[in-house]
């Protein structure tokens, strides 16, 4: 398996599968994507990821992995990609 040093281009469907492997649960489907939830230290975090095969833009990927949504950060997302693959 390839060891990534920077984030590869990732689609919405692949990101959803990657987050599910990290413990995120599909809460509901919305018009714009899929809502995923996870309880982290007593707080429920929610994020919505586009359910498409299109590549997610860097800014959107940064927002999803940011402190307000998933809280894993770019390095955490890179660790998930290296651990589970894409």
The count of structural domains within the chain is: 1
8 Å CB contact between 74 and 62: yes
Q: Which domain holds residue 16?
A: 12-84
Residues in the chain: 86
Which of these, 47, 43, 41, lies nearest to 16 by C-alpha position?
47
On whether residue 4 sits in a domain, the answer given is no
Which of these, 59, 61, 31, 28, lies nearest to 46 by C-alpha position?
28
Q: Which residues, in sequence order, are bridge partners of residue 39? A: 44
Q: Which carries the bigger pLDDT value, residue 61 or residue 86?
A: 61
Q: How confident is the model at residue 1 (pLDDT cuts 50, 70, 90)?
A: low
Which tens digits make up the pLDDT trace of 22-56?
999 999 998 889 999 999 889 999 999 999 999 99
On whether residue 27 sits in a domain, the answer given is yes
On whether residue 6 sits in a domain, the answer given is no
On whether residue 5 sits in a domain, the answer given is no
On whether residue 1 sits in a domain, the answer given is no
On whether residue 2 sits in a domain, the answer given is no
């Amino acid at each position: 398996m390839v060891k990534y040093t920077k984030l590869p281009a990732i689609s919405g469907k692949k990101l959803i599968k990657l987050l599910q492997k990290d413990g995120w649960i599909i809460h509901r489907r919305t018009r714009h994507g899929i809502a995923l939830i996870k309880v982290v230290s007593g707080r429920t975090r929610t994020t919505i990821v586009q359910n498409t095969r299109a590549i997610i833009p860097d800014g959107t990927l940064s927002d999803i992995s940011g402190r307000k949504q998933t809280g894993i950060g770019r390095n955490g997302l890179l660790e998930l990609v290296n651990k589970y693959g894409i």
